Amino acid sequence: MDFRLLGRVGAATGAEELQLGPVKRRSVLAALLLKANSAVPVEQLIAALWDDAPPTHARTVVQGHVSRLRALLASAGAGEHGVGLMTQGPSYVFEVPETLLDTCRFERLARRGRLRQRPADAVAVLGEALALWHGPALDGTAPSAPLRAAAQTLEEARLDVVESLAVAHERLGDRAGAVAVLQAEAAAHPLCESLAEALILALYRAGRRSDALDRYHRVRCLLADELGVGPGPGLRGAYETALRGGPVGAGGGGPVSPLPAPGAGPAPVPDARYEADARYEMAGRYEADARYEMAGRYEADALLLAPAGRPPAPAGPAPRLLPRGVRGFLGRGTELAALDRITGAGDGAVALVTGPAGVGKTALALQWAHHRQARYPGGTLFADLRGFGGVPVEPAETVREFLIALGVPARDLPDSSAAAAALYRELTARRALLVVLDNARGTDQVRSLLPSGTGSAVLVTSRIRLSGLIVEELARPVPLDVLGPVPATELLAAAVGEERVAAEPEAADRLARLCDGLPLALRITAAQLAARPHWRLADLAAELADEQRRLALLSLDEAEESGVAAALRITVQGLPPEAVRLFALLGVVPGPDLERYAAAALLGRDPTVAAEALDRLAGAHLVTEYAPGRYSTHDLVRLYARGLGTDEGALLRLLDGYTATALAASLAAEPGEKPCCTLPREAPADAPVRTFADRSAALRWYAVERENLAAAVTAARAAGHDDRAWRLAVLQWPYVVWSVRDGWAPLLEQALEASRLLDDPDAESRVRALLGWVLTREGQLSEALAQLELAPALAARAHDPSSEAIALVNLAVALDADGITDASLRHVTRAVRLAREAQDVLTELLALQHRTHQLLARGDIAAAERCTAYALALDDHGVTTGLGALRRAALRLSRSEALLALGEREAAESCTRQALAEAASQGFQEGVNRARSQLEALGRPVDLPAAPKGGDRPVRS
């Protein structure tokens, strides 16, 4: 098992990535892992999730995310790796061996690398440490102050290792390696003086004195422009060393052409240009020229010349058809580097940039192409294929334009498309070309435009997944997603001015979130602000917060159909009918995601049809498959879908699909229990329902779907479907039992209100019994009794003896919290009788379990022993898992207590060992702990492993 903070926060077991879900849950995991094996108070987790004032229900939200993390860890077998998420008073402790956490491995490798005496060993170990990084630290988490500070600390530690690695390269004599290590980092951190200082000295030692001086002036100007400060002593010292040609210390060695030894003749006079630089520097008048690019811009590196072996450029000027690039391009370093890797492989490489409408695919392609076209002396060809918007361009038309650009006179162009394509292949075989094909809708638009020379490269952009291009031409995809919170805010600042954003940082963050990180939406927002200089950012954020107006505001000119809504409309056009219909229904989905069974319920079709429709929507980047088989939508896409109008029965079909599946999950989770409800009378009997292989599969489904089910309850109540609302809440009872102290009360209170409006005593009794039990386990006894005292009579009105028996037991449990009472004894006695008359063995076991507890507490040991003997002799039809097994384990433990009190030590030990085995097999940690304690009291060894970690398994339902 592996946990990662050095890059996108994540966890994996073997080759399987754990699906952590939303940003806040990922942030909770990050906050816990940052203080692994230490107690983290809930208040610190709240601070990590919300940068501004947290909502009133913040504690409940945190508890919910902790619960779902526990379920996820349990399903992944985390306990086998020594991993567990424990509650410790008002805090949580994430127990994890240091070897499983990448930050701990990074620290250990960094320490070892710095201690290595042999440079080659130091290079290897420090390189291994840096290889653990896969992006910015804590990527994918909330932009809160605590997490930003932690990420900055980790980044500083990484930069320290980078500098140590550069020193190790120099000790090894690999000066070019030292430069390479530092150059990329200095470009990514242009204001870091220690990196700039190290790079200047490394460049100088490698004989690149001019580059070293250029680097200094670039950094000096940036410091002045961005921070209003001058270079520090270290940076100035590095500059003076390079300028004067002086000796260098750390790292050893001087420049490639060392200074003459003393007495060998006069030292060379420094170049007059650099002397002038020094004079300007002293006078404070040195200005960087236009070649010093803005900080954060993508820089062309020193490899702009075509590699050896590529075909020579033809005589005459090479075509350069690239349009002007996008101004204010920021970030996307990972994607730009991916394009470098793909095209650097040669052999006619094809890179495919895909992503949703408005995400900046064209901007990325032009940014990369403008800085890399010098690699291709044969020229640069560009075509907007208009696959989305306008009339798509025919491939033959583009071939003719390319032939003219390559020097073929218009009068000599072949008449037929096939002949033109053949001539294009012949001409491109002798050139090293860069071909950029923008806005492609299908592989057929692209295929005939691919150059035939192996020295060429092709860059294709598309809103859809061009699987044919990937299969036929081995195109390498470069997916482009929306911007994260920080780059999104930086884009706003670049467009409207840093001063305006700095004056309202919280409003800028909110605007970035409301724009969903979509560059098109961010640029339109910036245009709105530029057109209204008197508006505050908070004013526009308040306008965009209105979901009814948001898409209209994110449109610049309706006549030209420009904006987010228009881009989405064009993307949807041309999709298959079922995919279009499903897209229009996405606005109905109340939860954060869906899978094929939920989609099938929406459509009223078979799950295989729904899966195909989802795949087509994912291929068009209208939904995102963030985990195998699970799809989410961005907020702006959901808003657009919601405005398309929808099938009025779609929500009801979805609710019935969830209800039927939840019923199937409850039966799989607790096969011996009587169903707590049936489907609504008018619900379709043939609704698509997922099947569950076993209890673990059912519990995993509950954990994954918890947010969707909660949202479905809220949506059902809002739409007046109260008969679905209470069922969707109560049918989660097996998972409630698994994680009782996990903030279930708000959901059950909604269900209670729904049941009261229906005037359904059966529904109301079940909700009150479950809600009262949850409140009892949370320690809210007065609130619990207010619910539980009403539940038995309601169940009696509904003529359901099993439901009444459970309600009576739960009421007795709450009453007995302050000591056994005569009233609670009567309740349990009646519960036993009701369950026996109903021939409900598992409910009778529940009542007898608490009856035994009462007898032991009152000191009636003989009666307790007789009660357990009777209970354990009951025939529960072979139920060996779930609550039946847990109740038997609890009864055996009570029987062991009674036998021990009666002096029957051997029988007590045998009974305890049986209970320990049952509890351990079911993950019943409370039972395991009780059994261990009883064996220790008997002075006997404990030879069974502890139950898997992942939560306290209660025994009452």
Can you tell me which residue has the tokens 């037929």?
A: 416
pLDDT for the residue numbered 560: 44
pLDDT for the residue numbered 495: 81
pLDDT for the residue numbered 143: 87
Average pLDDT, stretch 68-73?
Answer: 87
Using the predicted structure, report yes or no on whether residue 649 has a pLDDT greater than 70. Answer: yes
Q: How does residue 709 score in pLDDT terms, banded at 50, 70 and 90?
A: very high
pLDDT for the residue numbered 944: 53
pLDDT for the residue numbered 791: 95
Q: How does residue 721 score in pLDDT terms, banded at 50, 70 and 90?
A: very high
Mean pLDDT for all residues in the chain: 83
When comparing pLDDT for 185 and 583, which is higher? Answer: 583
Q: How does residue 953 score in pLDDT terms, banded at 50, 70 and 90?
A: very low
Are residues 170 and 205 in contact, defined by beta-carbon separation less than 8 angstroms? yes
Using the predicted structure, report yes or no on whether residue 459 has a pLDDT greater than 80. Answer: yes
Would the CA dihedral through 291, 292, 293, 296 be positive or negative? positive
Using the predicted structure, report yes or no on whether residue 407 has a pLDDT greater than 80. Answer: yes
DSSP 676: S
Q: How does residue 279 score in pLDDT terms, banded at 50, 70 and 90?
A: very low
Query: Which residues touch 854 (CB under 8 Å, ≥6 apart)?
Result: 812, 816, 820, 824, 825, 828
- Dihedral-angle region of residue 128 (phi above 0 means left; psi in -120 to 50 means alpha; beta otherwise): alpha
Give CA torsion, residues 916, 918, 921, 926, to 10 deg. -60
Using the predicted structure, report yes or no on whether residue 262 has a pLDDT greater than 50. Answer: no
Average pLDDT, stretch 303-319?
Answer: 45
Give CA torsion, residues 510, 512, 515, 518, to 10 deg. -160
Q: At what angle do helices 841-858 and 801-815 cross, to 10 degrees?
A: 20
pLDDT for the residue numbered 887: 84
Are residues 218 and 292 in contact, defined by beta-carbon separation less than 8 angstroms? yes
pLDDT for the residue numbered 298: 29
Q: What's the maximum distance between 2 C-alpha atoms anywhere in the chain? A: 114
pLDDT for the residue numbered 96: 92
Using the predicted structure, report yes or no on whether residue 287 has a pLDDT greater than 60. Answer: no
Q: CA triplet 511, 514, 520: central angle to 5 degrees?
A: 85
The token pair that represents 436 in the structure block: 């950029």
The token pair that represents 392 in the structure block: 């798509």
pLDDT for the residue numbered 255: 40
Q: How does residue 312 score in pLDDT terms, banded at 50, 70 and 90?
A: very low
Average pLDDT, stretch 759-785?
Answer: 93
Average pLDDT, stretch 414-422?
Answer: 88
Using the predicted structure, report yes or no on whether residue 578 has a pLDDT greater than 80. Answer: yes
Using the predicted structure, report yes or no on whether residue 275 has a pLDDT greater than 50. Answer: no
Query: Which of 154-158, 263-267, 751-755, 925-929 is least confident?
Result: 263-267
Query: Which residues touch 606 (CB under 8 Å, ≥6 apart)?
Result: 600, 688
pLDDT for the residue numbered 746: 93
pLDDT for the residue numbered 292: 31
Using the predicted structure, report yes or no on whether residue 66 has a pLDDT greater than 60. Answer: yes
Are residues 329 and 295 in contact, defined by beta-carbon separation less than 8 angstroms? no
Query: Which residues touch 354 (CB under 8 Å, ≥6 apart)?
Result: 361, 461, 462, 463, 464, 465, 466, 477, 478, 479, 480, 621
Q: How does residue 239 score in pLDDT terms, banded at 50, 70 and 90?
A: confident
- Pairwise CA distance, residues 167 & 694, whole Å: 57
pLDDT for the residue numbered 771: 96
Task: Encode 846-912 in three state secondary structure.
Answer: HHHHHHHHHHHHHCCHHHHHHHHHHHHCCCCCCCCCHHHHHHHHHHHHHHHHHHHHCCCHHHHHHHH
pLDDT for the residue numbered 433: 92
pLDDT for the residue numbered 173: 86
pLDDT for the residue numbered 317: 67
pLDDT (tens digit per residue) in 875-927? 665 555 667 778 888 888 889 888 888 888 888 888 888 888 888 877 777 77
pLDDT (tens digit per residue) in 489-502? 888 888 888 888 88
Using the predicted structure, report yes or no on whether residue 822 has a pLDDT greater than 60. Answer: yes
pLDDT for the residue numbered 247: 58
pLDDT (tens digit per residue) in 622-641? 998 888 889 998 888 888 88
Using the predicted structure, report yes or no on whether residue 219 has a pLDDT greater than 50. Answer: yes
Using the predicted structure, report yes or no on whether residue 304 has a pLDDT greater than 60. Answer: no
Can you tell me which residue has the tokens 């120099």?
A: 170
Q: Phi/psi at 436 (nearest 5 deg)? A: -110, 115
Can you tell me which residue has the tokens 């505001």?
A: 553
Using the predicted structure, report yes or no on whether residue 281 has a pLDDT greater than 80. Answer: no
pLDDT for the residue numbered 492: 86
- Pairwise CA distance, residues 669 & 882, whole Å: 7
Q: How does residue 296 score in pLDDT terms, banded at 50, 70 and 90?
A: very low
pTM tops 0.85, yes or no: no
Would the CA dihedral through 534, 539, 544, 546 be positive or negative? negative
